[in-house]
Structure 1
Amino acid sequence: MSYELFLASRYLKSKRKTGFISLITYISILGVLIGVAALIIVLSIMNGFESEVKNRIIGFGSHIRVRTFHNQGLQNVDEVMNKIKDIEHIIGMSPYVDEKALIIATKKNQRSGVIVKGVDVTTLHKVSDIQDDVVLGTFNVGEVQTENGKTYPGIVLGRYLADKLRANLGDPVEILSPTGIGPVMTRMPYLRRFIVTGYFETGIFEFDDIYAYISLKEAQRLFGLKQAVTGIEVKLDDLNKAEEVKEVIINQLGYPYTAVTWFDMNKTLFSWMQFEKWAAFIILSLIIMVATFNIVSTLIMVVLEKTKEIGILKSMGATSKSIMKIFMYQGLVAGVIGTFLGCVIGFALCWSQLKYKFFSLPPDVYIISSLPILMKSTDFISIALAALLLCFIATVYPARKAAQLDPVEAIRYE
């Protein structure tokens, strides 16, 4: 151990003539500790929510959607699927129809705008987990027989859409397709009756409030698409490869086809979540900054208290650089202690929440029953480095002041 570090640790542990200096030292360590722990906990919670939202969005849809430019409809579905099925990382594909319409609950005379999604139930499970999100009834989009013996196609509604329509299981609903609406009003919009067979709930309000599922064939008939579809949903073995696979698909299919990833479709949401994380990081870093001001105050007072000792050290041959190191080490030791304890406490609290679920959430509001936690090593490293950097900066001014003391004047100092 160098004598600079030895003296720094002695100064940190030794009793002060003024107990106030020791108190400020402990407060500065505590401030760094609280700031680091708070940052770790808050960022881990935000990571948990982001992961939960990401999983639910991907579970509702898929990793990539293949479609045509201007959404003109994809005609040769089998040909397109055969062209891309052997691309690396693709493990599932399913055609879909995605169109806007008006839904009417005939019993309650309620109506609402709706996005009707037509799906192929034989391949849907390969790209989506929506069937697992059914909370009441079943995911039945096939033919349903009513009490009077008539058969109608089934429809599965989002939970909040069903609440708006006041539609119960077994109730009839009608979908009014915009097909036929245009400058020439010789054709009436297509109207088709369905029977409610189930409700789904993804936990994402924007999905549960506006989406309804029917069979692919019914959607093609409802919107006059014949054999065309809106696009093809693609699932990968690694969602992080979505951008890479998207480029391969675009290059392989060429015009008029294009592809969009799950991130492209939800860019605004995830960009906002990233902004929130950075905002939280900056705001909570202010706690550490306040603690570093305490380190500055402590070191300045120590310099004043140890002025005579500094003069003696200089007269014995200690260089200004060595004096500067002593006080920088002292501040950094306080920062390291606070940062280490903050990391330990932050990790312990996050781990406890993961294991014991101390903090619960109302599942009817958040869908998840407990506060989500996702700890990332990169967060721990960046927080620790930021805290130590701030502590280092805080030591520079008082350390330079100590190094600039004149040894003769310092020895005479009372």
Structure 2
Amino acid sequence: IVEIMVPGGNVTPMGAFPGIAKFRVVGLSVSGMYEYDSSFSYVSLEGADKLMGMAGRATGVEVKVDDIYQAGRIATRIREELGYPYWAKDWMQSNRNLFSALKLEKVVMFIILVLIVMVAAFNIISTLIMVVMDKTKDIAVLMTLGASRKMIRKIFALEGLLIGVAGTFAGTILGSFLCYLLRRYQFIRLPSDVYYISTLPVALSPEILILVGVSSILICFLATLYPSRQASLVDPAEAIRYE
């Protein structure tokens, strides 16, 4: 049993008196949002009326929608239907600071991932250049046997592309599996008094996975253009002169 007192809850001819009421705690509500869990309590409408002296009136109504991403459109429609002095705001407006921070974090993470992919692309370039230098004589032999420069370019471009496809496929599978584990078991905990949420949220988007995969393969392919061109410019006579 808890006793709650609200200043100015009841207005009488003698003035405003604090509203006092006793409630029985029947359960704990955990939403995962520290801001809500640390400050919100839920009581029946009758209990709130007794405590606040609202005479059956309510200060607000919350509406649950089937599609949370349509909340903004629904809130706008409610404002248009009811008009002044009523107003409505959706869950994104209520948590504007949180979503602004998440948006900034997403941009930073995107930049970091782009840098990682660029480093991988330079690794492919350096690897193929070393292969070209090591296989110069073999390239010359192929050319003397009738291989065209276009064929040589295709060989090294295909090698780099296979490296990119294999790495992208393995990274996508491993990343998706780790995201699944994070979403299911939530083993990464966040300090509730620092962040708005207590666990790291994870959402798998097929569109994002496809976009990242295609972009990575494209960057890897572009990284093969310079080494493959260098391979096709090998002079067969110069390469095998001292063999």
In the superposition, relative to structure 1, how do residues 410 and 364 fare at CA in structure 2: closer, same or farther (>3 Å)? closer
1:208 to 27, 33, 37: 37
With over 3 angstroms needed to count, the CA separation of the structure-2 counterparts of 1:294 and 1:381, relative to structure 1, is: same
Partner Cα distance (1:301, 1:286) in 2: 23
CA deviations on 1:306-364 (whole Å, 9 max, x unpaired) are 22333444456655443322212111111111222223333445556677x5x746799
C-alpha change, 1:330 and 1:257, in structure 2 (3 Å) is same
Shift of 1:201: 3.4
- Aligned partner of 1:197 in structure 2 is 24
Q: Who is 1:143 aligned against? A: none
Closer/same/farther in 2, CA of residues 250 and 200 from structure 1, 3 Å limit: same
5+ residue gaps, structure 1:
1-169, 181-186
CA distance in 1, matches of 2:218, 2:166: 14
RMSD, aligned CA: 4.0
* Cα distance in 1 for residues equivalent to 2:124 and 2:94: 47
Contact 1:179 1:224 in 2 (8 A): yes
Gaps in structure 2 of 5+ consecutive residues: none
Q: Which has the higher strand share?
A: 1
Q: 1:323 to 1:343 in 2, by over 3 A?
A: same
Residue-by-residue CA offset, 1:164-194 (whole Å, 9 max, x unaligned): xxxxxx24232113899xxxxxx85541112
Residue 309 in 1 paired to residue 168 in 2?
A: no
CA distance in 1, matches of 2:178, 2:125: 30
Query: Helix, strand or coil: the match of 2:207?
Result: helix
Q: Which amino acid aligns with 1:323?
A: I
CA distance in 2, matches of 1:375, 1:340: 16
- Report the alpha carbon displacement of residue 261 of structure 1 after superposing the two structures with TM: 1.3
Given the alignment, which residue of 215, 219, 222 partners 1:386?
215
Do the aligned partners of residues 293 and 179 (structure 1) sit closer, same or farther apart at CA in structure 2, a change above 3 Å counting? farther
Aligned partners of 2:143 and 2:236 also within 8 Å: yes
Q: Secondary structure at the match of 1:270?
A: helix
TM-score (norm 1): 0.47
8 A Cα contact 2:128 2:224, kept in partner: yes
1:157 matched residue in structure 2: none
Q: How does 1:223-372 map to 2 (within 5 A)?
A: 228-314=57-143, 318-351=147-180, 357=185, 360=187
* Partner AA of 1:195 in structure 2: K
Distance 1:238 1:225, change over 3 A: same
Q: Deviations over 1:230-285 (max 9, x none)?
A: 23221222222223323333333344433211122113212322332343343245
